[in-house]
Amino acid sequence: MPRIERALLSVTDKTGIVAFAKRLHALGVELVSTGGTAKVLADEGLPVREVAEITEFPEMLDGRVKTIHPRIAAGILAVRANREHMKALETFKIPTFQMVVVNLYQFENHATKPDVTREELIENIDIGGPTMVRAAAKNFQDVAVVVSPAQYEALVSELEGNAGALTFATHWSLAQQAFAHTAAYDTVVSARLARIHADGAATKEEALPRILRVQAPQTAHLRYGENPHQQAALYSFHHGGVASARQLHGKELSYNNLVDLDAAWQLILEFTQPAAAIVKHTNPCGCAEQTNLAEAYRKALEADPISAFGGVLAFNREVGRETAQEVSQLFAEAIAAPSFSPDAIEILTAKKNLRLVEVPPVTKPELVIKSISGGLLAQTADVAPMDGTAWRIVTSRQPNEEERQALAFGWKVAKHVKSNAIVYARTGQTVSVGAGQMSRVDSVKVGAMKALLPLTGTVLASDAFFPFADGVEEAAKHGVTAVIQPGGSLRDEETIAACDRLGLAMVFTGIRHFRH
């Protein structure tokens, strides 16, 4: 591969550019640059040629035209092995570039401003930058294209250890990253401009875009998918959440670990008080909200310690010593929390394979996207209010305060159980869960069958309406005193009548929480 003799540097993000340029200069690389970048380098005492020296043409149109010029484009695009290309460069005395270091106008910074104008957005669309990046990537075998400060250290180290040259594999990898970089940039620009009318007024932002553009870099290659014969990888939008989590300890996270961690994490975010969730195969087998985290964990585990074996745990507070001591007695696959205290880390890392994961808060709302054969489904997140303001009591008996609290808790958990979903609960604690049955009454029966704690005096939450009265009749057999469900069945009156006959209180929420 060619030795790097001349580099063109033109960056919006100046992070690390001076140190990188100094090491290039020490390798004998000639530095060529544009306005702002050239000034930064010159101020540090580095010898740098202005692009205008090569083009023999000044920057113009408020900087819109500076690198868009045959003497720059040809120096990047000329294929060294092509004699006609090289003859043309010689005829017009055009120098070649072996490296192009460019990152683009930070359009997204402007795109997220609440009162940004169309004119400001247009002015911050980079033209020359993407042109140079794509040109260098097209001619990757002769030109190394660098688009991120994160690439500087590895590249300059390779240059220093390889007589000022990069391997073919490095050139190819840089080109791949460059095309992904410009594609992502164009996606951001097109998506933002789509929200502006021809008259410049903002459109009402659509929750579901007309064209679904998904851009997410691969952040981890997983050993396999749900099963060993399937391939899998993790892609992250870098908006927080489980996909952006930091693993502190343990074996490599698997596909199934990540799916379960996300299910547990989404559940735990429903609660404001200290809460713990234990998930197995995406279904909660225990969840509790108490005055302290260790007690929440004990209550969550109490509901179904058998299913909890080999499960995934999530906490909505920092895991401290007491909670860690409790958790260390259970075989768990992974634990998600916003943070872990030093004492907790010391205790939990004694388990060699236990995965500890710090999960940052989600900073940007996202669509829920699932694949089907031949396409994708997208929906907004299930963030309907859970505060009880829209509840309607439909039975003769009103739920008492303790039942109300238990109903509110059970309703939050039911939202995160696979349909048909049934949750038996007390205040701040799941007692048993019936998940994923083909008929709702069977979910009621499964939840009762699995119960290890007494069901007498519990409440029951259902993610969707009871199509027949048999569901509440079955629940009453096991000691349930109150029921919460969306309502909306053609046979609601039969179910209400059954509750009145059996002395149950029942609340309609008016909102369904199917989870498929």
The average pLDDT across 335-362 equals: 96
Q: Are 189 and 225 found together in one domain?
A: no
Is position 385 within any domain?
A: no
Q: What angle do CA 54, 56, 57 make, to 5 degrees?
A: 120
Q: Are 418 and 339 found together in one domain?
A: no
Q: Which residue has the higher pLDDT, 196 or 42?
A: 42
Confidence of residue 169 (pLDDT cuts 50, 70, 90): very high
> How far from chain centre, in Å, is Cα 480?
39
Tell me the CATH number at 54: 3.40.50.1380
Is position 58 within any domain?
A: yes
In total, how many domains does the chain have? 3
Is position 270 within any domain?
A: yes
Provide the pLDDT for residue 198.
Answer: 67
Identify the weakest region by mean pLDDT among 126-135, 390-399, 487-496: 126-135
Q: Which residue has the higher pLDDT, 131 or 513?
A: 513
Q: What is the dihedral of CA 451, 455, 460, 461, to 10 degrees?
A: -30
Domain endpoint, select from 193, 228, 256: 193
Q: What percent of the chain shows pLDDT beyond 70?
A: 92
pLDDT at 392 over 90: yes
The average pLDDT across 188-216 equals: 71
Provide the pLDDT for residue 477.
Answer: 97
Q: Are 321 and 465 found together in one domain?
A: no
User: CA-to-CA distance for 445 and 435, rounded, in angstroms?
Assistant: 10
**Mean per-residue pLDDT over the chain, rounded:** 89
Q: Are 12 and 98 found together in one domain?
A: yes
Domain that holds residue 319: 220-358
pLDDT at 38 over 90: no
Is position 374 within any domain?
A: no
Identify the weakest region by mean pLDDT among 179-183, 310-314, 432-436, 460-464: 179-183
The whole model's pTM is what?
A: 0.78
Domain endpoint, select from 336, 358, 380: 358
Question: pLDDT tens digits for 158-168?
Answer: 999 888 889 99
Q: What percent of the chain shows pLDDT beyond 90?
A: 63
Is position 377 within any domain?
A: no
Number of neighbouring beta carbons within 10 Å of residue 496: 19
Provide the pLDDT for residue 63.
Answer: 60
- Six token digits for residue 375: 């396409």
Confidence of residue 203 (pLDDT cuts 50, 70, 90): low
Question: pLDDT tens digits for 408-437?
Answer: 999 999 999 999 999 999 999 999 999 999
> How far from chain centre, in Å, is Cα 328?
29
Q: Are 79 and 126 found together in one domain?
A: yes
CA distances from 378 to 213, 339, 370, 505 (A): 11, 31, 7, 37
User: CA-to-CA distance for 260 and 384, rounded, in angstroms?
Assistant: 22
Which one, of 312, 84, 321, 117, lies nearest residue 201 by Cα?
Answer: 117
Is position 77 within any domain?
A: yes
Q: Which of 39-43, 91-95, 199-203, 311-315 has the highest mean pLDDT?
A: 311-315
Confidence of residue 214 (pLDDT cuts 50, 70, 90): confident
Confidence of residue 112 (pLDDT cuts 50, 70, 90): low
Residue corresponding to tokens 């009749």: 473
For residues 322 and 315, the answer to whether their CB atoms sit within 8 Å is no
- Six token digits for residue 476: 């009453």
For residues 487 and 393, the answer to whether their CB atoms sit within 8 Å is no
Confidence of residue 58 (pLDDT cuts 50, 70, 90): low
pLDDT at 113 over 70: no
The set of catalytic residues is 138, 281
Question: pLDDT tens digits for 469-494?
Answer: 999 999 999 999 999 999 999 999 99
Domain endpoint, select from 193, 211, 244: 193
Q: Are 160 and 17 found together in one domain?
A: yes
pLDDT at 204 over 60: no
pLDDT at 108 over 70: no
For residues 349 and 341, the answer to whether their CB atoms sit within 8 Å is no
Provide the pLDDT for residue 373.
Answer: 94
Residue corresponding to tokens 């580095």: 46
Point out which residues pair with 423 in neighbouring strands.
433, 461
User: CA-to-CA distance for 52 and 59, rounded, in angstroms?
Assistant: 7
Question: pLDDT tens digits for 256-314?
Answer: 999 999 999 999 999 999 999 999 999 999 999 999 999 999 999 999 999 999 999 99
Confidence of residue 201 (pLDDT cuts 50, 70, 90): low
Q: Are 292 and 419 found together in one domain?
A: no
For residues 420 and 486, the answer to whether their CB atoms sit within 8 Å is no
Q: Are 300 and 448 found together in one domain?
A: no
Confidence of residue 110 (pLDDT cuts 50, 70, 90): low
Is position 13 within any domain?
A: yes
Provide the pLDDT for residue 157.
Answer: 92
Q: Are 170 and 251 found together in one domain?
A: no
For residues 461 and 444, the answer to whether their CB atoms sit within 8 Å is no
Tell me the CATH number at 340: 3.40.140.20
Provide the pLDDT for residue 441.
Answer: 97
Residue 483, SS3 per DSSP: strand
Q: Are 449 and 484 found together in one domain?
A: yes
Provide the pLDDT for residue 251.
Answer: 94
Q: Are 230 and 125 found together in one domain?
A: no
Provide the pLDDT for residue 239.
Answer: 85
Is position 387 within any domain?
A: no
Which one, of 353, 343, 244, 241, lies nearest residue 294 by Cα?
Answer: 343
Q: Are 258 and 311 found together in one domain?
A: yes
Residue 233, SS3 per DSSP: strand
The average pLDDT across 353-365 equals: 89
Q: Which residue has the higher pLDDT, 125 or 473?
A: 473
> How far from chain centre, in Å, is Cα 42?
40
Provide the pLDDT for residue 61.
Answer: 64
